[in-house]
Amino acid sequence: MTPLVTFDKIGIEFDGRVLLNQINMIIHKGEIVTLIGPNGSGKSTLIRTLLGLQLPTSGSVEHHEKTRVGYMPQKLHIDPTLPLDVSDFLALVRNVDKKDIPKVLAKVGIEKLANKQVHVLSGGEIQRVLLARALLNRPTLLVLDEPVQGVDVNGQVELYSLIATIRDELQCGVLMVSHDLHLVMAKTDTVVCINQHVCCSGTPQHVTGHPAYQALFGIPGAEESIAIYAHHHDHVHDDHGDVVNAKTHMHDKTCSH
């Protein structure tokens, strides 16, 4: 698998407080990695480090080849008195080709919202607009910070399915930030659970059974996640939890790992 970004022993301290300690993580092309952890665990700090907005105190972040990052923030704050429709909002992206705007709106299923004012959009519509903006620079790596925030359960399922479809179409890597695995896990290849340091990592099944995960989220939460985890893949995992090519395996195989 082709690595896109490597975090090597990332450490960050601020005012004598350790925010991140010895974080190691690799994101590969075509892989969905979900970063989970409780509030204050350092998820946002790690994302800022990946985006170059936060310099690590120790360690390094390596962007392999010509990694292009498309970033979707948690929230969008726009003055409701500002007349700004969806197309105009997307046109504000640096170096955007306006001919690409209808294409990305169609890709995320909101082409009919092109002329709608941003401040009247629903939570689910806003998240799709932010996802469209992240796609405008044709990223090789999508970084999605709580992409389903403010969206109802049905909308969350649809968004996670859409993200997986985009990954399949673009063969990009995806780093998703979440609080838990209860809905996201069925669309995730690798989970990294952090609480200032990496508590555990691997397949969703491995992580939800790990004592460190259960200590943070509770055994009932782990059992609920495991019950949800049944999906169809066109790939398999090796003994280390890494995704491997499965062209020679039977397609539409249900994973039970």
State the SS3 of 87-152: HHHHHCCCCCCHHHHHHHHHHCCCHHHCCCEHHHCCHHHHHHHHHHHHHCCCCCEEEEECCCCCCC
Length of the chain: 257
Domain boundaries, the chain: 3-68+139-254
**Rounded Cα distance, 133 and 151, in Å:** 18
pLDDT of residue 185: 76
**Rounded Cα distance, 188 and 32, in Å:** 5
pLDDT of residue 175: 97
Low-confidence ranges of the chain (pLDDT < 70): 180, 219-257
pLDDT of residue 240: 40
Predicted confidence (pLDDT) per residue in 104-148, tens digit:
999 999 999 999 999 899 989 999 999 999 999 899 999 999 998
pLDDT of residue 219: 63
Q: How would DSSP label each residue in 228-254?
A: H---EESEEE-TTS-EEE-TTSPSSEE
What would be the CATH architecture of the domain defined by 3-68+139-254? 3-Layer(aba) Sandwich (3.40)
Which pTM was predicted? 0.82
